[in-house]
């Protein structure tokens, strides 16, 4: 039987908390200028999504490597693989919709911006942001 994420949490005697607004995502999504063609907007959204997925992937990798609970470790390892696939899928989609060199330049610029905004964040625990 495949359990949902919520059922897995409940089986451990815990409750899912409400969705929280994610300051990292809000800050990140200020980078590209608003407006422009629908195509450009799509590429920018794909790059945001790719980066968020890539960071989730890294987080799940660390969690899966450090957990002693083998069931949880596998759960996070599986999530890591999913997130890695999402990351590369979004980045590759972006490269399909705009010139590859331009997309790669935007990607590098977004990474540099992300490094800047990370200086301003605390080390509070978050899962997907
Ligand atoms: Fe994902």
More confident residue, 12 or 43: 43
CA of residue 109 to ligand 1 center, whole Å? 22
- Taking the model in full, what pTM does it have? 0.86
Q: Is the pLDDT of residue 2 over 70?
A: yes
Token pair 């800050």 in the structure block, residue: 27
Q: What six digits make up the tokens of 58?
A: 């890294």
Helix (H, G, I), strand (E, B) or coil at 79: helix
For the stretch 84-119, pLDDT in tens is 999 999 999 999 999 999 999 999 999 999 999 999
Q: Give Cα separations from 119 to 28, 92, 116 (angstroms).
A: 13, 28, 6
State the pLDDT at residue 127: 55
The DSSP symbol for 67 reads: -
Protein residues near ligand 1, an ion, with CB under 5 A:
53, 83, 86
More confident residue, 7 or 43: 43
Q: Is the pLDDT of residue 125 over 80?
A: no
CA of residue 81 to ligand 1 center, whole Å? 9
Token pair 């790719």 in the structure block, residue: 50
């Amino acid at each position: 039987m495949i359990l949902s994420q919520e059922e897995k949490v409940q089986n451990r005697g815990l409750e899912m908390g409400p969705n929280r607004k994610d300051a990292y995502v809000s800050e990140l999504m200020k980078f590209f200028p608003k407006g422009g063609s629908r195509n450009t907007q799509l590429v920018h959204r794909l790059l945001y999504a790719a980066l968020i997925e890539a960071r989730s992937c890294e987080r799940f990798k660390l969690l899966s490597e450090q957990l002693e609970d083998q069931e949880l470790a596998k759960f996070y390892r599986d999530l890591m693989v999913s997130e890695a696939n999402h990351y590369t899928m979004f980045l590759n989609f972006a490269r399909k919709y705009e010139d590859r060199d331009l997309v790669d330049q935007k990607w590098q610029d977004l990474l540099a911006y992300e490094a800047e905004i990370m200086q301003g964040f605390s080390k509070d625990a978050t899962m997907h942001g």
